[in-house]
Amino acid sequence: MGGAHRARPARGEEPLGKRQPEGPPPAPAVQRIRLRYTKRGRLRFTSHRDFQRAFERALRRAEVPMAYSAGFTPHPKVSYANAAPTGTGSEAEYLEIALTEHRDPATLLALLDESLPTGLDITDAVEARTSGLADRLTASVWEMRLDGVPVEDAEKAVEAFLAAETVEVQRRTKNGMRTFDTRGAVAGLQALPPQADRPVDKPCAILRLVVRHLTPAVRPDDVLSGLRAVADLAPPVPAAVTRLAQGLFDEESGTVTDPLAPDREAAPAAPPKAAGTASATAPEGTSLAL
The pLDDT value recorded for residue 18 is: 59
> Is 51 strand, coil or helix?
helix
CA 245 to CA 188: how far, in whole Å? Answer: 14
- Report d(CA 255, CA 214) in Å as an integer: 17
- What span, in angstroms and rounded, lies between the C-alpha atoms of 185 and 211? 6
Distance CA 170, CA 177 (A): 6
| Residues found in the chain | 290
Distance CA(21)–CA(278), nearest Å, equals 53
CATH at 140: 3.30.70
Q: What is the pLDDT of residue 279?
A: 36
**Which of 96, 129, 162 marks a domain boundary?**
129
Q: Are residue 240 and residue 184 in the same domain, yes or no?
A: yes
pLDDT of residue 271: 64
CATH number of the domain to which 98 belongs: 3.30.70.580
| Predicted local distance difference test score (pLDDT) of residue 70 | 86
**41/118 same-domain check:** yes
CA 52 – CA 145 distance, rounded (Å): 28
> What domain count does the chain have?
2
Is 154 found in the same domain as 251? yes
Residue 218 lies in a domain: yes
Is the same domain home to 121 and 144? no
Q: Is residue 268 part of a domain?
A: no
Q: Report the chain's terminal Cα–Cα distance, integer Å.
A: 79
What residue numbers bound the domain in which 233 lies? 136-257
Domain edge (last residue) among 112, 129, 146: 129
In a domain, 272, yes or no: no
Residues 122 and 140 in one domain: no
CA dihedral 110, 114, 120, 124 (to 10 degrees): 0
- 223: amino acid identity, one letter: V
**Inside any domain, residue 252:** yes
Asked whether residue 146 is assigned to any structural domain, the reply reads yes
In terms of domains, do 44 and 154 share one?
no
Structural domain includes residue 168: yes
Triad 46, 246, 216: Cα angle to 5° = 75
Last residue of a domain, one of 129, 157, 190: 129
Check whether residue 196 and residue 163 sit in a common domain: yes
Assess contact for 100 and 66: CB atoms under 8 A: yes
DSSP 8-class letter at 224? H
Looking at the structure, do residues 145 and 253 belong to the same domain, yes or no? yes
Q: What is the pLDDT along the chain (290 residues), one digit of tens a residue?
A: 455 555 565 665 555 555 666 777 889 999 999 999 999 999 999 999 999 999 999 999 999 999 999 888 889 999 999 999 999 999 999 999 999 999 999 999 999 999 999 999 999 999 999 999 999 999 999 999 999 999 999 999 999 999 999 999 998 888 888 899 999 999 999 999 998 666 667 899 999 999 999 988 999 999 999 999 999 999 999 999 999 999 999 988 888 999 999 999 998 876 665 544 433 333 344 444 44
146 and 242, same domain (yes or no): yes
| Rg value, the chain, Cα | 24
**Region of 254 on the Ramachandran plot (φ > 0 left; ψ -120 to 50 alpha; else beta):** left
In a domain, residue 5? The reply is no
Q: Is residue 195 domain-resident? A: yes
Q: What is the DSSP letter of 159?
A: H
Q: Which of 244, 240, 212 is nearest to 90 (CA)?
A: 244
